[in-house]
Amino acid sequence: MKRIMAFALCLTLLLSAFAGGAVAEEEPVVIENMGRTTTYEEAPETAVALSYSIAEIMVALGLEDKIVAIAPSMYILDQVSEEYRETVGSFPVLEGSYGVPTLETVLDTGAEFVFGDAYSFYANSVGTVEDFEAAGVNIYATEGTYVEDATFENIYNDIINIGKIFRVEERAGELVAQLREREAAVEASVAGLDPVRVFYFDSDTGGGVDMSTVGNTGLQSLMLEMAGAENIFNDVEGQFVAVSWEDVVDRDPEYIIVCDYYGEGYADEKIAELKANPATMDMDAVVNDRFIVVPGMAMFPSLECMDAVELIAAGLHPDEAA
């Protein structure tokens, strides 16, 4: 009888230990984001990803079963890593102008969580944070799209935070470790090399007079530096700045980095513009076709950012870059 009672006591203690572990796994998660504190009592069961890059992060974390719909934003599916492209392409797509759905379209999905860039949560975009809060929907915005002078640490924070929210911290930690390893490798490969002077051609601001490029702050400027490049406008304050073609010609870049947002010939059109414009057609970089095309998705906080750094580094330093 004593043996039976002892066994029962041990079994009770063992079950209590397991139960305690289960409770610990479901402890509330508190996340700071966009100046707000949100408590997640449990992992969201349904989510909307407001761009292909956002969907890619969730799929990389094994959260594809949580996604009920996605929005393209200004990107195309072909810019998603081949590893995740088929899965990302299988989700229902919320249509909208320039890939941006309306607030009503997103809310109609019934999702309890919405993940996107900060730009998505403006009044002139999908909807404000207050709009989603009023509907009882939690949101998360990528840090690199709302903090000043973003770095790769903000991307890593996003991955870790999403891992916490959905209780997949271990996978998030593994993914960040892989990205850190690649970051260290590419930085080591260009260390000590002379930086190559580049112009980052983001977009035409209208009329072919002013161009949008990057100044000396923000993630894009940092990515150029990491790749062994010297931004010819690194003396200009700001993240995205407008410059004239005369300014570009005067600074005479060795290479031109062309940002390809929408695919379907978008980058080719920008290169053709450079070759046809009397102000730029005789530039050394243009005459000698020294262009490096990078996907637009890869130049904003995403898993593709490291791909872009590696691509630029390989183009500028083909004999040394990782």
Ramachandran assignment for 138, one of left (phi > 0), alpha (psi -120 to 50 degrees), beta (any other) = beta
Computed on alpha carbons and rounded to an integer, the radius of gyration of the chain in Å comes to 23
Confidence class for position 206, pLDDT limits 50, 70, 90: low
With a cut of 90, say whether residue 11 has pLDDT above it. no
Q: What is the pTM of this model?
A: 0.88
Q: Do 57 and 154 meet the contact criterion of CB atoms below 8 Å apart? A: no
319 or 33, higher pLDDT: 33
- Taking residues 56-78, report their average pLDDT: 96
Residue 222, both tokens: 């940092």
- Write down the CATH number for the domain with range 194-316: 3.40.50.1980
How confident is the model over 218-250, as pLDDT tens digits? 999 999 999 999 999 999 999 999 999 999 999
Q: Do 239 and 214 meet the contact criterion of CB atoms below 8 Å apart? A: yes
| Domains 27-167 and 194-316 fall in the same CATH topology | yes
CATH 3.30.420.40 for domain 27-167, yes or no, is no
45 or 76, higher pLDDT: 45
The reported pLDDT for the residue numbered 291 is 98
Structural domain boundaries of the chain?
27-167, 194-316
How confident is the model over 274-308, as pLDDT tens digits? 999 898 999 999 999 999 999 999 999 999 999 99
With a cut of 80, say whether residue 19 has pLDDT above it. no
With a cut of 80, say whether residue 127 has pLDDT above it. yes
With a cut of 70, say whether residue 9 has pLDDT above it. no
Average of per-residue pLDDT values in the chain: 91
Choice among 1-5, 188-192, 222-226, 315-319 with the minimum mean pLDDT:
1-5
- Taking residues 168-181, report their average pLDDT: 98
With a cut of 70, say whether residue 22 has pLDDT above it. no
Match 């393209």 to its residue by tokens.
72
The reported pLDDT for the residue numbered 200 is 97
